[in-house]
Every structure is written in C-alpha cells, then in structure tokens.
Amino acid sequence: MPKLASYYLPGLYIEDHAVDVPLDWRGHEPAQLAADGLPDGKRIQLFYRTVCTPENVGRDLPLLVFLQGGPGGAGPRLLSPTSDGWIEEATKHFRVVLPDQRGTGRSSHVSRHALEARGDARSQAEFLKRFLAPSIVRDFEYLRLTEFAGRSWTTLGQSYGGWLTLTYLSFYPAGIAASLTCGAIPHLPASADEVYAHTFPRMAAKTRAYYERYPEDAERVAAVADRLAAGDVRLPDGSPLTPRRLQQLGQGLGMKPAPERLHNLFDTAFEAGAGTLAAAGAKPQLTDGFLMGVLQSLTTAGNPLYWVLQELIYADGTLEQPIRWSAAREYASRPEFSADARPLMLVAEACLPWMFEDDPLLVPFKPTMDLLMENTKFDPLYDPAQLAANEVPLQAAVYFDDAYVDSGLQLDTLSRMPHTHAWVTNEFEQNGLHGSAVFKRLFEEAKNRGDLERALRS
C-alpha cells in the first residue's frame, strides 16, 4: 500500500503508512497470507509510521519496531527526537517503526461506537477477543513480511510490550534479530490472581510512601473522600465522582513523579483552602480545576481498550476457571482498600467492575465485559517449549519497585529463558523508557555483549 503522507518534524523525518490485515487470524498464518494474499472476509487496517533523522532519509538502516504499552495504547505521537526520550538514541542506529496496535489510534479504532456495530453482547465479546496479543503479533509479522521485505528487526517492548515480546518469541522468533524490553515480562504460567496478590501490597506501600512524603495529603485526600461519600459530586462530563472512583487516581503510582502530580492535584481541591476542611455544617466545595484534573486523569476517551483488555491479557488458551474480575476479588479481600478506610488507599493498574458503571465511555462495554469475565476459551499466548529453547537475545530492564508487574515474577520467567539478560534497577519506574537513559543503557549492554550483531547488519 502506498504511503499516506511524509513530512518533517524538528529533527525527524516521518512517513505514514497503512496495510490491511484480517480481523480474525484463526486458521491463517502471516507467511501464508504474505505469499497468497489476504482471504475473503472482514479486514481491518493497521496504521504505522516510520521514523528516522533527516540525514538518514533514503539510507538502508536496520529496523526497530516498537511494541507499545497498554494494552490498548497507540504508538507515540512525536514532537521532536526528545519528546519521547528513547527516540533520539534509537534513530541514531535504526529506522524506527511505530505501529498503532489493532484497535488503537488510526488502526481501525475500537470505541463504544465500533462496539455497537458488532451486534449483541456475545458477538461483541468474540470481536474483542481478536484484539489481544496473538492477533497483534501476527499483524506485526505480516507487516514485516509484506512491507519490509521480510527483513528481521529488533523489537522494543514497553510495559505490555513485554507481553507482546514473549508472544512474538513464542510463535515467530525467526523474524526477530534481538529484543529489548522495559518494565514488564509476564510471569508464566499466566495468572491474573498471582499478579494482583503481589501488586496490591505494592499499591498500599506506594500510597503510604506518598502520604509520608506529603503528610498533609493524607488528611486532604480523606477530606475529599468524605465529601464524595456525602454524594452530589459530578465530574465535568456529568459522571459521578465517588470514593471508590477517587481511589483510581493511584493508577499513576507506578511512574515518576506520581506523588508530586497527586500532591499538586489535591493542593487546590477545595474552594476555600484548608479552612474549608474545618468548616462545620456545610459541605466543602470542590474546585472546578480539581474536578477537571480528576477527569483528565481518569478518562478513557483516548484508550477505551486499556481497561477492557486489562485482565484478558492473562487469558492464555483454554482456562480452567474464568477470570471473573480478578483484581476486584483481591481488592475485596483487603480491608485496607475499603473506600471507607482512612487513610484512603489508592489503586494502581487494576480493572474493577464498577468502572463500567461509573465511566460513561465504558458503560456500553459492561454487558460484554460480564460475558468475557465468564469466558474460558481464548487463543494461546505463549509456547513454553519455544521460550525454553529461546535463541533470540533479550535484554530486559526490570524495575525493582514496579507497582504493576512484580519484579520477582519477571526475573523468574527470565531465569527459564536462555539468551536473556536483566538489568534490575530502582532508579526508574514504568515510564523510565520515556527519558533518555534507559534505552541507551539497554542498547549499549546488548551491543557490548555482541547480542546486536545480527540486528545492526540486517
């Protein structure tokens, strides 16, 4: 398919492209379709950008494909080489490929509107199962074969991109010259219950650390929660703001500088400042700025699939038991996370069923989510035998204090995969890649070990 556009940003040259892929990959393989053409049936569009520096336009550079975090996240929208820190270093060595994973960005975007067109809840559930890792990596392998002449490439997986990396290495390792991952390697065998059993204590610890850093915020957050418990508070989109929804502001606690962002948000929560907290007989008034800040933190307008797919990324093949809202079970088992408890514990990356009642953009997904949470039939995510025989060099940044994916579980998986190396650090958290240091460190370690020899000559 011809390129859609080409243009320059400060320090970068960009090309926009798109290619059709099958909605349903079952019964098909990328190599077969690359040779024979796409079959009849429903197709969707996969959008991607290629990025290089202006001086490298036209040069035959090695390829690096970015496996975006999420799930449900589109590729980064760049302003310059430093607007997403790893780009500046990566474009010194590679032509960077930035796909919008299926269902995100400009790749046949899935929203409440797209879901409504799929029929009843059962049809919608089957549709949404086509947007998980097995389909995503087949899209990428088909893209490599058809648009990049089958050249092997280096994969860079950020967060959920680590899940995609292991799926890619399970089924199409020949297409990958080397892999780099930042912040997430899934534990195998996959288990949402195991993940949340490890991460909820970390969420509590992160909340307490926030309150220790800003002691006045424990009182301020509690005062806001008490005001919300009294009712009658709505966000600018008209949706209710409740104490349990306030807890979702912890979803950024796995990134730096989350405590500072929360402190600044709650700093102007009340109209009359601290005096309002002691006012008797009247409900304290929350500021419009605070309510807008909460909405901006919680809105799913740009990535509705993030919460829809959050627990489904652990659904590996035929399940012995349905997922049944795994995070909600763990939440309910921990009294310190009660919305009535004080200090109020904040909840990081955890999909909870009332999100699909409180968020107007997620409400249309609720009947479908109820079905998916009871479903046991999914496509396989991993090939354990292939991963145990892995020959592709993999360099992983493992964030020791990771609030979303336990570092010990990540290291256990890596210990059972040959040709893997872990850099364990507490200097960075889940957004570490977006600075300039993490990619450079991974790249240099892999290069100095000789793991990028094939990648840099491909």
DSSP secondary-structure letter at 379? -
**Residue where one domain finishes, among candidates 372, 397, 418:** 372
- Report how many domains make up the chain: 2
Same domain (yes/no): 283, 394:
no
- For residue 272, give both structure tokens: 């009359």
Cα distances from 388 to residues 80, 173, 326, 411, in angstroms, run: 40, 12, 28, 14
Same domain (yes/no): 56, 150:
yes
Same domain (yes/no): 51, 24:
yes
The pLDDT tens digits for 185-223 are 999 999 999 999 999 999 999 999 999 999 999 999 999
Identity of residue 78: L
Helix (H) or strand (E) holding 213: helix 192-213
pLDDT at 1: 58
**Residue where one domain finishes, among candidates 342, 372, 402:** 372
**Residue where one domain finishes, among candidates 372, 400, 424:** 372
The pLDDT tens digits for 31-90 are 999 999 999 889 999 999 999 999 999 999 999 999 999 999 999 999 999 999 999 999
Indicate which CATH number applies to the domain containing 107.
3.40.50.1820
pLDDT at 275: 46
- Predicted confidence (pLDDT) at residue 280 exceeds the cutoff of 60: no
Residue 281 — pLDDT band, cuts 50, 70, 90? low
- Predicted confidence (pLDDT) at residue 276 exceeds the cutoff of 70: no
- Predicted confidence (pLDDT) at residue 324 exceeds the cutoff of 70: yes
End-to-end CA separation in angstroms for the chain: 23
Is beta strand 12-22 parallel, antiparallel or unpaired with respect to 5-9? Answer: antiparallel
- Predicted confidence (pLDDT) at residue 22 exceeds the cutoff of 70: yes
Same domain (yes/no): 40, 108:
yes
What is the mean predicted confidence (pLDDT) over 357-378? 97
- Predicted confidence (pLDDT) at residue 257 exceeds the cutoff of 70: yes
pLDDT at 274: 47
Residue 184 — pLDDT band, cuts 50, 70, 90? confident
**Are the C-beta atoms of residues 46 and 99 closer than 8 Å to each other?**
yes
Same domain (yes/no): 15, 147:
yes
CA separation for the pair 238, 235 (Å, rounded): 5
Same domain (yes/no): 170, 226:
no
Same domain (yes/no): 338, 433:
no
Same domain (yes/no): 313, 388:
no
- For residue 182, give both structure tokens: 């930042």
Among candidate residues 319, 281, 277, the one with its CA nearest the CA of residue 189: 319
Same domain (yes/no): 243, 257:
yes
Question: Which residues form the domain of 205?
Answer: 192-372
- Predicted confidence (pLDDT) at residue 176 exceeds the cutoff of 80: yes
Q: How many CB atoms lie within 10 A of CB 52?
A: 20
pLDDT at 272: 74
The pLDDT tens digits for 380-416 are 999 999 999 999 999 999 999 999 999 999 999 999 9
The pLDDT tens digits for 106-144 are 999 999 999 999 999 999 999 999 999 999 999 999 999
Q: For a pLDDT cut of 70, what percent of the chain falls above it?
A: 98
Residues 414, 417, 422, CA angle at the centre, nearest 5°?
Answer: 35
Residue 2 — pLDDT band, cuts 50, 70, 90? confident
Same domain (yes/no): 25, 119:
yes
- For residue 86, give both structure tokens: 């790893």
- For residue 381, give both structure tokens: 């995510």
Same domain (yes/no): 151, 201:
no
Same domain (yes/no): 147, 200:
no
pLDDT at 243: 98
Poorest-confidence range of 93-97, 113-117, 139-143, 445-449?
A: 113-117
- Predicted confidence (pLDDT) at residue 267 exceeds the cutoff of 80: yes
pTM, two decimal places: 0.96
Selected residue with higher pLDDT from 417 and 275: 417
What is the chain's length?
458
- Predicted confidence (pLDDT) at residue 277 exceeds the cutoff of 70: no
